[in-house]
């Protein structure tokens, strides 16, 4: 595996010093710079002081848990976050994704897999960085999804939503009345290197429907049974 060509700074947050040290060794071997924190409060401070390119964030932390840290960081930044969970339960994964995490890894994990996921998330993030691109926005009756500034407006009011929810809605709304399978949506919105499963799509669609319920009769987010989803509009 080739070393990273540009040094990216990774903030590793785990209360287990052995795990932190192991990850530091693997990350530095791959050309990354590793910054370590062992509790939630230190993680928030390190984020503000070090400006990492990606955060590897354990859920079970002293002082502030991983969910609290993720919420705090998302108030001011969309830096990629990969959550570490010991339980591997669907609830943990769903909560992490709803809070704006980009990926999750279940303990115990292989350090090489962690490095691969970090590279995949950083690659997807780099591909999304604006380079004098035109405005990325779709508009329908009482709905506006703007990916240039990641703003969702419903009935003229700004609605808070995690980045992936907006990206999923934008992609579906940009292709009205076209049916996409869950795997197609994972490929297009999360990227070919995403390690999650198709339930991720179901969770995000469910959350979007809660935000969009009853907004307009001219469009809807529909399930096509045994196939996938589509953004249905009046012909």
Q: Which of 106, 128, 150 is the last residue of a domain?
A: 128
Q: What is the mean pLDDT of residues 134-140?
A: 83
Q: Which of 99, 128, 157 is the last residue of a domain?
A: 128
Query: 3 lies in a domain?
Result: no
The domain in which residue 37 lies consists of 9-128
Per-residue b or e along 70-107, where b marks 16 or more CB atoms closer than 10 Å to that residue's CB: bebbbeeeebbbbbbbeeeeeebbbbbbbbbbbbbbee
Q: Are residues 154 and 105 in the same domain?
A: no
Q: Are residues 65 and 172 in the same domain?
A: no
Q: Are residues 123 and 227 in the same domain?
A: no
Angle ∠(48,51,55) on CA atoms, nearest 5 = 95
Mean pLDDT of the chain: 84
Q: What is the mean pLDDT of residues 217-235?
A: 90
Q: Which of 128, 155, 174 is the last residue of a domain?
A: 128
Higher pLDDT, 196 or 142: 142
Q: Are residues 14 and 121 in the same domain?
A: yes
| Short-list 69, 94, 86, 76, CA closest to 11 | 69
pLDDT given at position 120: 86
Number of domains in the chain: 2
Query: 114 lies in a domain?
Result: yes
Report how far residue 80's alpha carbon sits from residue 143's, in angstroms, rounded to the nearest whole number.
27
Residues β-bridged to residue 228: 181, 224
Report how far residue 125's alpha carbon sits from residue 53's, in angstroms, rounded to the nearest whole number.
10
pLDDT per position as a tens digit, 17-50 = 999 999 999 999 999 999 999 999 999 999 999 9
> Does residue 84 surpass a pLDDT of 70?
yes
Query: 2 lies in a domain?
Result: no
Q: Are residues 27 and 118 in the same domain?
A: yes
pLDDT per position as a tens digit, 162-208 = 888 899 999 999 999 999 998 889 888 877 555 556 778 888 999 99
pTM, two decimal places: 0.58
Q: Are residues 33 and 101 in the same domain?
A: yes
Can you give the CATH number for the domain in which 180 is found?
1.10.10.10
Task: Output the six-digit token pair for 225.
Answer: 């049974």
135 close to 146: Cβ distance less than 8 angstroms:
yes
Hey, how many other C-beta atoms are within 10 angstroms of the C-beta on 118?
Answer: 26
**DSSP of 9-50:** EEEEE-S-HHHHHHHHHHHHHTT-EEEEESSHHHHHHHHHHH
> Does residue 1 surpass a pLDDT of 50?
no
């Amino acid at each position: 595996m080739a070393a990273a060509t540009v040094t990216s700074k990774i903030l590793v947050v785990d209360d287990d010093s052995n795990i932190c040290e192991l990850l530091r060794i693997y990350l530095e071997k791959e050309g990354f710079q590793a910054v370590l924190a062992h509790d939630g409060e230190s993680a928030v401070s390190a984020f503000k002081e070090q400006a990492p390119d990606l955060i590897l964030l354990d859920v079970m932390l002293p002082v502030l848990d991983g969910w609290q840290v993720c919420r705090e960081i998302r108030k001011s930044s969309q830096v990629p976050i990969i959550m570490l969970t010991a339980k591997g339960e669907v609830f943990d994964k769903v909560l992490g994704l709803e809070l704006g995490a980009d990926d999750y890894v279940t303990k115990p994990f292989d350090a090489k897999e962690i490095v691969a996921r970090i590279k995949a998330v950083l690659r997807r993030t780099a591909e999304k960085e604006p380079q004098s691109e035109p405005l990325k926005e779709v508009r329908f009756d009482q709905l506006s999804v703007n990916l240039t500034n990641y703003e969702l407006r419903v009935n003229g009011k700004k609605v808070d939503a995690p980045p992936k929810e907006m990206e999923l809605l934008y992609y579906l709304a940009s292709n009205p009345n076209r049916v996409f399978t869950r795997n197609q949506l994972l490929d297009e919105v999360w990227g070919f290197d995403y390690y999650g499963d198709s339930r991720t799509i179901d969770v995000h669609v469910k959350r979007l429907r809660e935000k969009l319920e009853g907004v307009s009769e001219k469009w809807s987010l529909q399930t096509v049974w045994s196939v996938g989803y589509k953004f249905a509009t009046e012909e």
